[in-house]
Structure 1
Amino acid sequence: MKQYVIDQLREADFYRLKEHLGQNLETGGMDGIYWVELPADVHSEVQRQHDSCQPYYFALHLDFWQINFELLIRSRKVLHCPCMGYADQRQRDFILQYADRLLEQLDIRA
């Protein structure tokens, strides 16, 4: 799995992230998994054409010592479709900027 990992979180960082993510994002079926909706303006051409698969998401996985930002863009409506796959350049940029803003907003210096 391709992902962007921020590790060596401090205990206080973990609890700030857990509280913030729990209040602002949909949780996944497993502990520590959160879904971030990908904005329509960064959808690929194929994703824009697949109305029935939208919205698209990427997942965050928060562990005690690290947070992982998955680079796999997926729909939660279908399991297999050509509109799902690894983030393109614009989508990767969005995910990295999202990660940077999140850490800055919570004053985390990882």
Structure 2
Amino acid sequence: MRSYLVEEINSQDMAKILDSISQKALKRPVEGLYWMMVPQDLLTDEQKAHAGQCGPHYMAVEVGDDWIKLELLVRCEKIIRCDCISYATNEQRETMINFIDQLIRNQDVRV
């Protein structure tokens, strides 16, 4: 699995990051896992075509005691296997990594 990992975050900073994630209202299917929806304008043609039957499309953000990880796989909520599930395009990857980086910076976390 390809992913973007930020680790060695102290517990006070992790609490700030988790609070920020919760305020962003990211969907939380299970403890420690959040779904970041991929903006409609960043979806591939196939993902757009499948939006109604498979979507919404998201990337998973997992958090641990001292780390946060963004999986670089674009998944869909309604179906487990489909051609619209794929690794993020360069634009999707860059946008979502920037989102995570900005979320961390906004909390004055230095990593």
Structure 1 runs (4+) greater than 2 angstroms displaced: none
Distance, in Å, in 2 between the alignment partners of 1:32 and 1:38 is 19
Query: What CA RMSD, in Å, does the superposition of the two structures yield over aligned residues?
Result: 1.0
Query: Partner letter of residue 50 of structure 2?
Result: H
Deviation, structure 1 residue 28: 2.0
TM-score by length of 1: 0.93
Does the residue aligned with 1:80 lie in a helix, a strand or coil? coil
Q: Which residue of 2 aligns with 1:56?
A: 57
Deviation, structure 1 residue 80: 0.4
Q: Which residue of 2 aligns with 1:34?
A: 34
Identity %: 29
TM-score by length of 2: 0.92
Q: Which residue of 2 aligns with 1:104?
A: 105
Q: Which residue of 2 aligns with 1:85?
A: 86
Gaps spanning 5+ residues in structure 2: where? none
Gaps spanning 5+ residues in structure 1: where? none
Does the residue aligned with 2:84 lie in a helix, a strand or coil? coil
Contact 2:73–2:87 (8 Å) recurs in 1: yes
Deviation, structure 1 residue 12: 0.7
Distance, in Å, in 1 between the alignment partners of 2:97 and 2:9 is 17
Deviation, structure 1 residue 43: 0.3
Aligned residues between the structures: 109
Deviation, structure 1 residue 88: 1.0
Contact 2:20–2:103 (8 Å) recurs in 1: no
Q: Which residue of 1 aligns with 2:17?
A: 17
